[in-house]
Structure 1
Amino acid sequence: MSLSPNFEAIHAKPVVLAPTQTLELWIIGCGGTGSFLVQLLCRVALALTAQGRTTQLVLVDPDRVEAKNVTRQCFCEAEIGLNKAQTLALRYSAAFGVAIDAIAEPFRPSMLLESRYETLQILCGCVDNAAARQSIAEAIEAPRYHRLASPWWIDGGNSQHHGQVLVGNCRSTDSKDYVIDTVCRALPMPSVQAPDLLVPRPEEQGPDSSGLSCAELALANAQSLLVNPQVATLMGRYVVDLLNNTLTTFATHFDQQTGTMVSQYTTKASIAAALSRYAPS
């Protein structure tokens, strides 16, 4: 992704969601990025509740806090050995008084089916491997005849000094399916924008084909101490803009070493460019 300036912002159209009073904010993966995102979304939930909108946070992560997590993730020594989702839910529900569910299991698409018809679901993917992202992609791709609107997927990822946030709700690879007039109602989901998200990296393939743990992945891919909080902040901003019907970007990339950040805007040209790899040759 080029970090040269993009001047399409003046032509971007805002994403407008179907009106709903019931929201679910899912954080899938409560490690390096997800653990920092929880506090931000608690504040979002407080603001939404003050507006009369019923808001539920759902944290999903099967892993426990390890000693090596304390430096780079939002945990302390007293929480070592506890499940990540459960300890974050306990900490922040007590601090903010917001409703937080914790699921100490890997995410499954079927988890979304228990919500009411009119509930808008925003899935914040903070996972670090292809298999977990595949599960989120399947949840977005599933038929939604029982729902008012399809879920939205906001995906955050990073390397040592670089990070990106992608957002979308549609699996189509045909630019004609993304109609933009005065507003925008659909965007290509993260795995359509960046198919490599669903391709396992070599270090994810362990000797037993089960892959490496999150802690081992962190060691295999050295990461800056501050890259995850920046990804979390960007994801929080995407959530706020999406809910306020003011979102005009669908991808943001940053590089901490150069101090550069660029976004792709919600224009026909930018969406067509994001889908250009699928165009017939």
Structure 2
Amino acid sequence: MNTLPPIHYTDNYLLSPTNPILVNLIGAGGTGSHMLTALAKINCSLIELGHPGLQVYLYDDDDVVTEANKGRQLFAVTEIGLHKSVALVNRVNRFFGTNWKAVTKPFQRKMMRNLPMRGRANIYISCVDTVSARFDIAETLSNLDANNTFDNIKPLYWMDMGNARKSGQVILSTIYRVKQPDSQKYRVVSYLPFITEEFAEQLLAEADYNEPSCSLAEALLKQDLFINPALADLGGSLLWSLFREGMTAYRGFFLNLASFKSEPIAVG
């Protein structure tokens, strides 16, 4: 019996790429708006360390900023009526000097079939509201070809972020097996399963209910004020460890703000 502690080593391309790492952030709502800021911090720090950094594409459909988005999500009064993805990316670009892109279309299988080279990335981060959207993303990523493709568009990781009112989870997955070095100190883990594979039964038991709120007060009845930034910061920390440490013993966590508890999920 192998009693060595499990570990997942980061794919080599993330550590020493020739170009900025391509990241598709899917969803510009509560968690997505905060995750974009976390990615901007990671990008700035990586560049200071001599890394090419990140190139982020923020996908969201034609959803626009409303009065209900002002407090819980990172939007201002002056941005009401704008596309969420456009407002967020413009703000980050002005503040950090990046050239990230907003895509005012949903991330779907059809888009990937019609544009086989565009829409590809090394890291996919989903901050979506519905179970059906997660399964759609999972199917899309499962059909991506990791062979005979350039490193800068090779699909490597999927991080899914989801939450209820005062709880949530972040799950990191490998899209395909990541080659691991030999180790006498650790039991290396090359494959991290999709959330739709490991927790399919729990996901299918949930109902898709995503009616828009008319006010911030109504929105706060559905989701706590700090659940989204808490998930984004902890998820950003997990992603940062992949770059900074080159390995991780954890592939996510369950978070409960009501009891102020976080339960890590080991890689194997």
TM over 0.5: yes
Tell me: CA distance 1:181–1:223, structure 2 relative to 1, closer, same or farther (3 Å).
farther
Please say if 1:156 is aligned against 2:161: yes
CA contact (8 A) 2:11 2:179 kept: no
Cα offsets for 1:30-56 (capped at 9, x unmatched)? 101010111110121122334242521
- What residue in structure 2 maps to residue 126 of structure 1? 127
- What residue in structure 1 maps to residue 78 of structure 2? 78
Tell me: CA distance 1:61–1:15, structure 2 relative to 1, closer, same or farther (3 Å).
same
Structure 1 range deviating more: 58-67 or 105-114: 105-114
Structure 2: how far apart are the matches of 1:252 and 1:150? 22
Structure 1 range deviating more: 93-102 or 257-266: 257-266
CA contact (8 A) 1:126 1:156 kept: yes
Compute the displacement of 1:168 (Å).
0.4
Please tell me the residue identity of whatever aligns with 1:61: D
Please tell me the residue identity of whatever aligns with 1:60: Y
Structure 1: how far apart are the matches of 2:38 and 2:220? 28
Please tell me the residue identity of whatever aligns with 1:21: T
TM-score normalised by structure 1 residue count: 0.76
Give % identity: 25
- What residue in structure 1 maps to residue 143 of structure 2? 142
- What residue in structure 1 maps to residue 88 of structure 2? 88
Please tell me the residue identity of whatever aligns with 2:142: E
Please tell me the residue identity of whatever aligns with 1:27: L
Structure 2: how far apart are the matches of 1:132 and 1:215? 20
Q: Which runs of 5+ in 2 are unaligned?
A: none
Please tell me the residue identity of whatever aligns with 2:260: G
Number of equivalences: 244
SS in 2 for 1:165: strand
Please tell me the residue identity of whatever aligns with 1:41: L
- What residue in structure 2 maps to residue 266 of structure 1? 267
Compute the displacement of 1:146 (Å).
4.0
Compute the displacement of 1:100 (Å).
0.6
Please tell me the residue identity of whatever aligns with 2:249: T
Structure 2: how far apart are the matches of 1:221 and 1:124? 26
CA contact (8 A) 2:24 2:125 kept: yes
- What residue in structure 2 maps to residue 236 of structure 1? 236
Please say if 1:21 is aligned against 2:18: yes
Please say if 1:11 is aligned against 2:5: yes
CA contact (8 A) 2:165 2:224 kept: yes
Q: CA RMSD in A?
A: 2.9
Structure 1: how far apart are the matches of 2:205 and 2:219? 16
- What residue in structure 2 maps to residue 60 of structure 1? 59
Tell me: CA distance 1:215–1:185, structure 2 relative to 1, closer, same or farther (3 Å).
farther
SS in 2 for 1:106: coil
CA contact (8 A) 2:130 2:208 kept: no
Tell me: CA distance 1:99–1:146, structure 2 relative to 1, closer, same or farther (3 Å).
farther
